[in-house]
Amino acid sequence: MCCGNLIKDDISIAKEFLDEANNALKKDQYIKASRKIEHAIEEIKKIKDSINNFVKKEFHEKAMNFFEDIKEYEPHLQAFNDILKNIQDETSKEVKDIIETQLLQKEFIKNYIFDINFAFYIGEDDSEYTEDDLDSNILFELNCGHTITPKEINDEELDDYNDPLVMTAFKQCYLFHSIYHHIYPHALSWKDILRVKKIDVEIQMKHKKHYKL
């Protein structure tokens, strides 16, 4: 169930109260405006409580499902993690090489930024695969900004991002960890993740210039 759909009507109710308060203010009806604002605040508090309860419930259920189901898929997930680790290291090295061989020679290196995007596609044997619109076959995407991992690329001993709620026998690379921990909403199951059969990596280098007038 989508959280947005659950709270859509409630948001409309709060907005109606605020609109009524605004109309009352235009007519100098300050007591009425104050009363409508109080009603809006009450509705907003209900919305906030609803969102918080939903998020807590979703996080708890998702964490428990991961914890219970991961053993069944762990051998396949380990193989997937190994592939991601190779892609992660290779992409990080490419970015590092670009910085060292190209940008360090330039005076305005601070004005260059990288945008690293990973697109994860389902395979042709997937029931939802379509030839008509290849972008529709993207199951999820990850954007890593200017760098992939928060640690140095050569720091292999620290390259384990096992989560306390999602512990695995193998070391988790940062990309693997990001898939189940940093994609929102948390709607992917382990089975979903293993539907991935192709990964596209796009590295964009952007040059920013600033002019003072």
Residue 67 lies inside a defined structural domain of this protein: no
Query: Which residues span the domain enclosing 51?
Result: 3-56
Query: 187-209: per-residue pLDDT in tens?
Result: 678 888 899 999 999 988 777 67
Number of domains in the chain: 2
- 52 and 79 in one domain? no
Confidence check: pLDDT of 19 > 50: yes
Across 101-119, b (16+ Cβ under 10 Å) vs e yields eebeeeeeeeebebebebb
pLDDT grade, residue 9 (50/70/90)?
Answer: very low
Q: Whole-angstrom Cα distance, residue 50 to residue 5?
A: 12
- 166 and 125 in one domain? yes
Residue 42 lies inside a defined structural domain of this protein: yes
- 126 and 183 in one domain? yes
pLDDT grade, residue 178 (50/70/90)?
Answer: confident
Residue 145 lies inside a defined structural domain of this protein: yes
Residue 47 lies inside a defined structural domain of this protein: yes
Residue 66 lies inside a defined structural domain of this protein: no
Percent of the chain with pLDDT over 90: 18
- 124 and 185 in one domain? yes
Residue 202 lies inside a defined structural domain of this protein: yes
- 176 and 137 in one domain? yes
Q: Which of 162, 165, 142, 172 is nearest to 77 (CA)?
A: 172
Whole-model pTM? 0.62
pLDDT grade, residue 126 (50/70/90)?
Answer: very high
Residue 213 lies inside a defined structural domain of this protein: no
Instruction: Pick 69 or 167 by higher pLDDT.
Output: 167
Percent of the chain with pLDDT over 70: 71
70 CB contacts (<8 Å, ≥6 apart)? Answer: 77, 166, 168, 190
Average pLDDT over residues 61-78: 72
Residue 146 lies inside a defined structural domain of this protein: yes
Query: 43-68: per-residue pLDDT in tens?
Result: 888 877 777 776 666 555 555 555 55
pLDDT at position 125, please? 93
